[in-house]
Amino acid sequence: MHIILVSNRLATARTLTVTPRRLMAAVFGFMVLAFSISFFLSWIGVRFNLPFAERLVASVQQAEAQKTQDFMRDNLNAMAVKLGQMQAQLLRLDSIGERVSALSGVKLPEKPLDGKAGQGGPLILPAQPISALELQREVERLAQIVEQRSDSLTALESQLMEQRYKSSLLPTILPISAANIGSSFGSRVDPIAGVRAMHEGIDFIAEPGTRVISAAGGVVVSAEFHPEYGNLIEIDHGNEFSSRYAHLSKVLVKPGQVVKRGQEIAASGNTGRSTGPHLHFEVRYKGIAQNPARFLQQGAGNGQSQKLAQASAGKPGTGK
C-alpha cells in the first residue's frame, strides 16, 4: 500500500510505502507506548500517593469483587433451589415405595432416622442467603438419605422378585377348560364302592381329548399308567410342591422334562378307576394332598372362582 504525502512547504510530493512488516511494527510500538503510559501513571500514583489513582484502583477492585460475589450468590441460590427440588422428588419416591409396598404386601425395610421426618410450618425466608458451607452439608445429608432409600427400594425389589418367582411355581392356573366340577376335595361317598372315602383332588368334567395344561412350571416326575389313576402325570414345582393329572387319554411329556406354566402336557380321558370322562387334579405339599381350589382361586376368572369357592367349601360330587 502506498501513501502519498502532499505539503505546501514541499515542492514535490513524498510517497510512503506501507508493508505488512511496517504495519506490525507500528501496532507493536503503539501497544508498547500504551503499556508504558499505563505503567508510568500507576507508578506515579503509587510513588506520590495520589488519591485519584488509589480511588481508581480501589474502584476497579471493588467492581470485580462485587461481580464475583454476585456470581457466587446467584449460583448458590440456583443450587439451593435445585436442592429443594431434589428433596421434593425424594418425598415422592418415598410415597411411591410405600404404595408399592402396600399393594404387594411386602413390608419395606425400616428407614433410619434422618432428622427430617414430620416437618412443616410457615415459610419465613432468611435475611442472609444460604452459605456455601451450609449448602455442602445439606447436599451431603441428602446424598446419605438417597443412598438409604436406594437400599430400601432395592430390598423391596428383591422381595418382590422372590415373591413373584415363588408364586410362578405354585399351581394357580386351571389345568383344563371345564364347564363343571364333579367332585371336590374332601370326604365323599365313593362312586364305585359306595362307601365314605377321602377324595384328594378335584374332578373337572370334560370331554375326552380336552387340552390339559400344567398349572405351574416344574419338572415331570412321572408320566405312566397307574391302576387307579389311569394315565398319570406328576410334576414337581419345587419348594416341596407337586401336582398330579389323572385319567388322561394321551400323555405329551416324558419324565425329567422341564415344563412351563400353561404348557400343554396331556389330553383328558376316562382311564383307570373312573366312571366317566374327566380330569382328576391334585396338589401336594411334602407329599400330603392339599385342597387344589385354594390355589386355583388365585388364577381363576370370575366364572370359575365361584365354582372353585364351592369346591373349596367341600361340595360333594360323584366322579373320581
Identify the H or E element spanning 198: strand 196-199
Same domain, 185 and 305: yes
Model pTM score? 0.53
Return the pLDDT at 129.
60
Same domain, 142 and 201: no
Adjacent-strand bridge partners of 259: 218
Same domain, 140 and 226: no
Same domain, 184 and 308: yes
Could you tell me the CATH number of the domain that includes residue 246?
Answer: 2.70.70.10
Burial readout 253-277 (b: 16 or more C-beta within 10 A, e: otherwise): beeeeebebeeebbbbbebbbbeeb
Q: What does the mean pLDDT of the chain come to?
A: 76
Identify the H or E element spanning 103: helix 51-104
Return the pLDDT at 45.
63
Query: What's the whole-number mean pLDDT along residues 230-248?
Result: 94
Total domains present in the chain: 3
Same domain, 87 and 160: yes
Which range scores top for mean pLDDT: 34-48, 67-81, 199-213? Answer: 199-213
Return the pLDDT at 320.
46
Return the pLDDT at 193.
81
253 pLDDT higher than 50: yes
Nearest to 89 by CA among 9, 5, 145: 145
152 or 312: whose pLDDT is higher?
152
Same domain, 219 and 254: yes
Cβ contacts of 209 within 8 Å, gap of 6 or more: 249, 250, 267, 268, 269
Query: What's the whole-number mean pLDDT along residues 128-153?
Result: 74
Between 133-147, 210-224, 265-279, 295-309, the lowest mean confidence (pLDDT) is in 295-309
The answer to whether residue 220 is domain-embedded is yes
Q: Which residue segment(s) compose the domain that 139 sits in? A: 77-110+129-168
The answer to whether residue 65 is domain-embedded is no
Same domain, 209 and 185: yes
Cβ contacts of 96 within 8 Å, gap of 6 or more: none
The answer to whether residue 144 is domain-embedded is yes
Same domain, 293 and 187: yes
Same domain, 195 and 304: yes
Same domain, 299 and 195: yes
The answer to whether residue 320 is domain-embedded is no
Same domain, 162 and 89: yes
Return the pLDDT at 154.
75
End-to-end CA distance of the chain: 117
The answer to whether residue 58 is domain-embedded is no
The answer to whether residue 318 is domain-embedded is no
